[in-house]
Amino acid sequence: MAAATTSLRAEKDAADSLARSRQAQITTLTADLEKSKKDVEAKHSIGLRWKGRADTLTTEAKAQKESLAESEKVVSELKAKVDDLTKELEASKGKIAELEKEKQATAPAPTAGVVADNAELVCSPDNVRN
């Protein structure tokens, strides 16, 4: 009977030791699980912040694209106006050149007699003051 009791005590001690070992493993695994949960929550939070930032940047990029498209439209309209005004200016320059040519063609050329007549007026004794 003593041998059976010793054997049972040895089995009980082995079972208790195994139970303590398993309890230590369970405690370690529970701690690891909690740590992993916190890591996952932190990474999820970081992911949500990055997603929010990405959404904000996407929205800003769309707004800038629209603004750029509007600016390009205004610039193209202004370029068209400048081109039209340049054409109008060139046409006006051509008309002015034609009018100057016509004026030169119809104006009498100055003669030597006209210059001599003017010289008489300036140098005549009646125009001299005493």
The answer as to whether 32 is a domain residue is yes
Residue 80 CB-half CA count within 13 A: 6
What is the spatial distance between Cα 107 and Cα 101, in angstroms, rounded to a whole number?
A: 10
> Has residue 112 been placed in a domain?
no
pLDDT of residue 1: 85
> Looking at the domain assignment, is residue 129 inside a domain?
no
Asked if residue 23 belongs to a domain, the reply is yes
User: Which region holds residue 115: left if phi is over 0, alpha if psi is between -120 and 50, else beta?
Assistant: alpha
pLDDT at 38 over 90: yes
For residue 9, the enclosing domain spans 2-106
| pLDDT band at residue 108 using 50, 70 and 90 as cut-offs | low
Task: For residue 117, tell me if it sits in a domain.
Answer: no
pLDDT at 82 over 90: yes
Contact yes or no for 10/4 (Cβ under 8 A): no
b/e map 10-45, b = 16+ CB within 10 Å: eeeeeeeeeeeeeeeeeeeeeeeeeeeeeeeeeeee
Closest Cα partner for 65 from 50, 54, 73, 76? 73
- Is residue 123 one of the residues assigned to a domain? no
Distance between first and last Cα of the chain? 172
For the chain, the domain total comes to: 1
What digits encode the pLDDT tens for the residues 17-26?
999 999 999 9
Specify if 90 maps to a domain. Answer: yes
Q: Is 114 a domain residue?
A: no
